[in-house]
Structure 1
């Protein structure tokens, strides 16, 4: 599976025309792998939970991992730029970049 496109500033990936905050670039590779492993383990636990089971603890683990990765919570950049997480790319300052990129693919 190929990696999703990343905005020129590296802050977001684009999935189905929607911006999703990218992982913090300052994470050490081993720490990032550990957090992704934790995230996937927690998601698997949610998927394998029996119907009617309280999955709150697993969802909390997902949230903690995503926050540590920088994909949720406060933005990881410090230049004051707004957060466009979960916005349609064509409704953001990345619209022109996206339109040009889509024409090339």
Structure 2
């Protein structure tokens, strides 16, 4: 695995970024739908950056709302996409979750 590939939990629910868990896209989304929402997300993120450069708080708020809508459609925010009732650990430090032992092992083998 190269350093640009995010570490993914064994159950495929999260990626780990700087030690924190972030929910993955719903793997059940049909590929055309996933691609549509990823394109929307990237467009909205560019709009956030543009609004920040222009110092336009209204445009920034609208763009951030578009980011949120895309992330919800992808399953990265809002209700969880898994059906087993497991808790959502998004934003938690991996070391403070049931993934702690797995994470510690991966860090030892990755040398991070």
Q: TM-score range by the shorter chain?
A: over 0.9
TM-score by length of 1: 0.94
Moved over 4 A (4+): none
How far 1:80 moved relative to its partner? 0.7
2:39 match: secondary structure: helix
Match of residue 51 from structure 1: 55
How far 1:53 moved relative to its partner? 3.9
Answer with 45-54 or 63-72: which moved more: 45-54
Match of residue 11 from structure 2: 9
Match of residue 67 from structure 1: 72
Counterpart check, 1:21 vs 2:23: yes
How far 1:52 moved relative to its partner? 3.2
Greater share of residues in helix: 2
Q: How many residues align?
A: 105
Query: Gapped runs of 5+ residues in structure 2?
Result: none
1:98 match: secondary structure: helix
Task: Give the alignment's Cα RMSD to 1 decimal.
Answer: 1.2
CA deviation vs aligned residue, 1:46-94 (integer Å, no higher than 9, x gap)? 1112213412221111111000111100010111100100000000000
